[in-house]
Copies of this chain bind each other. A is one copy, B any other.
Amino acid sequence: MKWEDVDSQNCSMARGLAIFGDRWTLLIIRECFRRVRRFSDFQKSLGITKHRLSNRLTRLVDEGILTKVPYDDSAKRFEYRLTDKGLELYPILMSVALWGDKWLSDEDGAPVIYRHKSCGEITQPKFVCDCCGDDIHARDIDAIAGPGVTKKLASNIKA
């Protein structure tokens, strides 16, 4: 199978990774969360080639993760900003960073620590069950067929 066909799977992970599961894309989004918005600034901070950057930004705009907004009326210049869809990628980036902090840091320790703005404390964000509030780790969850599967089955049976 070619990579461009992975999003045909009825799987949210595969669909997501088809958009941002390749080289550079999540790093570009990381820069967006750091308030980088302009073409040349992405280039400087990432060291990515213009070609690649142009290609990735276009795709992120097409997918509705970024919007391209003009910032100078006279010149044709644009900023790329996260949409709501893009902002909600935050847990993904945070998860990657937390894992890297734990497993890939050098002997000095994590390059970044996190402070929760509203409570002011240093925090290690964690996943919890929105029902009982307990921590969630690997193997604590059963994945069950959702409507995106069961409705299709039901209509196949009727047909």
- A binding-site residues for B, Cβ under 8 Å: 1, 3, 6, 10-17, 19, 21-24, 26-27, 30, 33, 46-48, 82, 85, 87-106, 108-119, 121-134, 136-149, 151-152
Contact = CB atoms under 8 A, between A and B. Distances in A.
B134 A118 contact: yes
Given A47-B1, A89-B99, A112 B149 contact: yes
18 contacts: A3-B23, A12-B96, A12-B100, A12-B112, A13-B96, A15-B100, A16-B104, A21-B23, A33-B138, A87-B139, A91-B98, A94-B127, A101-B146, A113-B147, A118-B129, A122-B131, A123-B132, A125-B129
A117 B133 CA distance: 13
A111 B148 CA distance: 4
Contact of A94 (B6, B103, B125, B141): B141
Task: List the number of copies, as a whole number.
Answer: 2
Given A13-B27, A22-B23, 5 more contacts: A17-B27, A88-B103, A113-B145, A122-B131, A126-B127
B151 A109 contact: yes
Given A117-B141, A128-B125, A130-B124, A148 B106 contact: yes
B113 A146 contact: yes
A75 to B, nearest CB: 28
